[in-house]
Amino acid sequence: MVREVCEQLDITEIAAAVGVSFGGLQAVHVAEDREQGVPRLMLHSCAPSTLPYPDTRAEAIVGPVVFSPLLQGLVWRLVRRMVGSDAGLRRMMARLSRLPVDDWWGQLSAADRDEARALFQSMGSDSGFAIDLRQGRARDAAARRDALSKVPCPTLVTGSPHDRGVSYAHAEDLAAVIPDAVLVELDSASHLFWIGAGRARVGLIVGAFIDE
């Protein structure tokens, strides 16, 4: 499907396949498509690795219910309403970080907050999150390991130990299983690694990897 999209958009040269968060395994499979000819793979704050996801049993039980096709519309409407205020946005962002929100909230510019708010207000999942959660089941770890071990290109893996959305252990595991992978630890305060003071460093890291 990705190959067909590239053909429709007349994209003939690819710099890299990029996976963010739940998009990691999809990017891995695109990188393994020989016809696509992907020269590099980048995985940012991705899960699952060979480790199961969600990271806690409570999330594994509640997640499929909250993001079920029947309830997800209501959930996202509540999220959109919550982030309409700075106080609500702060609460939402705090859930994505292991650091006390007082330590980093003040470092976000008005533009950073507007970008985060626009992201949350545009999100929806239909059946997508429920499907993504199923791909992280513990019983499918061997299949994930098989796919990761066959990545044919140089791979950049990034993650932050402050990320509460995805444990840093997934980044470490991805880098250990993918044959030609390098792991870069970010200091991003939350799962939204591209929002905030760390954005410039991420840009430099990605640029250097592509230029190699």
The per-residue pLDDT for range 145-181, each reduced to its tens digit, is 999 999 999 999 999 999 999 999 999 999 999 999 9
- Of 162, 62, 69, give the one whose Cα is nearest residue 107: 162
Q: Give pTM, 2 decimals.
A: 0.93
- pLDDT, averaged across the chain: 95
Burial class of residue 64 in the structure, from the number of CB atoms within 10 Å of its CB (0-12 exposed, 13-18 middle, 19+ buried)? middle
Interatomic CA distance for residues 167 and 142, integer angstroms:
20
Residues above pLDDT 70, as percent of the chain:
100
**Furthest-apart CA atoms within the chain: distance in Å:** 48
- CB within 8 Å of 126: residues ≥ 6 apart: 69, 72
Least confident stretch, 28-32, 112-116, 130-134, 139-143: 130-134
pLDDT digits (tens, 9 = 90+) for 39-65: 999 999 999 999 999 998 889 889 989
What are the residues facing 155 on neighbouring strands?
A: 41, 181
Give CA–CA dist 210/60, Å, rounded: 36
Domains of the chain with bracketed CATH: 2-53+141-211 (3.40.50.1820), 57-122 (no CATH)
Region 110-130 average pLDDT: 94
Q: Which two tokens stand for residue 86?
A: 């700075």
pLDDT value at 209 more than 90:
yes
Residue 131 banded pLDDT, cuts 50, 70, 90 = confident
- The b-or-e profile of 39-50 (16+ CB within 10 A means b, else e) is ebbbbbbbbbbb
pLDDT at 100 over 90: yes
Q: How far apart are CA 212 and CA 41, in angstroms?
A: 13
Report in angstroms the alpha-carbon separations of 63 from 131, 133, 135.
Answer: 11, 8, 13
Percent of the chain with pLDDT over 90: 84
Asked if 190 contacts 100 with a C-beta cutoff of 8 angstroms, the reply is: no
SS3 159: strand
Average pLDDT over residues 102-118: 96
Given a contact cutoff of 8 angstroms between Cβ atoms, the answer to whether 134 and 159 are in contact is no
